[in-house]
Amino acid sequence: MIQTLTHPTHDDLVRCATTIDLSDPLLMRVRRHLEVDRCETCGTTVHGLLSRSVRAIHRSPLLRRWIRPLHARSRTGTRVGAAADYQLVCSVGPFALDVLVRDCETERELRFVGQVTHAGRIHEPVAELALHLIGIPAAPADDTATDQFGEFALSSARDGIYGLRLGAGLDAPCVMVWEGWEA
């Protein structure tokens, strides 16, 4: 049986982005549509709803499952001489994640480079772990896996909200790696 892609209505997207109950099955269908089908049209609509404020991003039921590391508000987390770089280090279940987000203005993209190691054993890399960059609006379809050293590199458009899913499947842990320019 061939399954056709059905787009949620604008009202469904608004509900899922702002007020829907977490147990509503519509929320899972819209998440799958955005994260697996990577519908750019629906992702652009959701981005328009959420990008107005960081608070909207934090309160959105669509992004509720994303792990939000604490932000260091000073210049901590920024590499010397490159104020646009942002570094994120956190534990995610059995993993430790270290990500550097580099703003490449001339190429109009963000680059995400980093390493995944075993939590509590930072000198033991996690090799061949599937990684999925989730974007609102839709991220490019160039998912990757960690190499033998647990390292990875991904890139995406500069404007968006991005999460990095560590592992396969919608239930794998996902870390918010970029909330936008106002965060």
Burial of residue 58, with CB atoms counted within 10 A of its CB: 0-12 exposed, 13-18 middle, 19 or more buried: middle
Model confidence at 68, in pLDDT bands (50, 70, 90)?
confident
Distance, C-alpha 112 to centroid of its chain? 11
Average pLDDT score over residue span 151-180:
88
Q: How far are the Cα atoms of 20, 102, 135 from residue 138, in angstroms, in the given order?
A: 21, 19, 5
Query: Which among 113, 95, 96 has a CA at the least distance from the CA of 104?
Result: 113
86-178 maps to CATH 2.60.40: yes
Cα(134)–Cα(157) distance, integer angstroms: 12
Which parts of the chain fold into alpha helices (H)? 10-18, 25-35, 40-50, 54-59
Q: Hey, where are the domains in the chain? A: 10-63, 86-178
Q: What is the pTM of this model?
A: 0.81
88-126, pLDDT tens digit by residue?
888 888 999 999 988 887 777 888 999 999 998 878 999
Q: Supply the pLDDT for residue 139.
A: 64
